[in-house]
Amino acid sequence: MTHDEVTVAAAGGARWEDVSAVMGTRGDPASCWCQWFKLRRSEWDAASRQEKSALLHEQLDETDRGVLAYVGGAPVGWAAVEPFSAYPALTRSPITRRRDGDPADPWAATCFVVRLEFRGRGIARALLAGAIGHARDHGAEVLEGYPVDPQVRPSLSSAERYHGTVGLFRAAGFEEVRRPSATRAIMRLRLR
């Protein structure tokens, strides 16, 4: 394996140190720990960084619902992927709320984190490919994403791109099923 080769693996509790390395100690990932879609707003506001970290650790001990990317054996990225029903905030959001004809409980790829020094090297593409395989391996029939569209708003910061981008999902074969807002899309991939 060359140092630029990206591998992806399920992120169960045994890989907690790698998840922690990707989330880091500063910035949005270190303050969120992929709990934004898991907690009620009041719970989110009340929870400390340490409490959110502990929640993700507990969730990963129970299940391997996420994937990690590695370059040269070093953890460089994370993607959260699990059933829609595992994300209570998705059912309340006007962006992701279920509509008639939507699959009841598709899997959802909600968050991407790539360590700063590894951005622009295809890590997000590898993470999405890993999320697709992971969802398929766990019996998912459909995988959804809720990406942003930097073509519509080029000024989107890297922090605002944690959902992934429309181009990323489109390149992986996802189809846009609707636009809840100018910059956000619901994209879906049939796995079975």
Range picked from 20-34, 126-140, 147-161 for highest mean pLDDT? 126-140
Banded pLDDT at 126 (limits 50, 70, 90): very high
Q: Is the pLDDT of residue 4 over 70?
A: no
Question: The CATH number of 6-190 is which of 3.30.1540.10, 3.40.960.10, 3.30.70.141, 3.40.630.30?
Answer: 3.40.630.30
Boundaries of every domain in the chain: 6-190
Say what percent of the chain tops pLDDT 90. 80
Burial 87-110 (b: 16+ CB within 10 A, else e): bebbeeeeebeeeeebeeebbbbb
Dist. CA 24–CA 159, nearest whole Å: 14
| pTM for the whole structure | 0.93
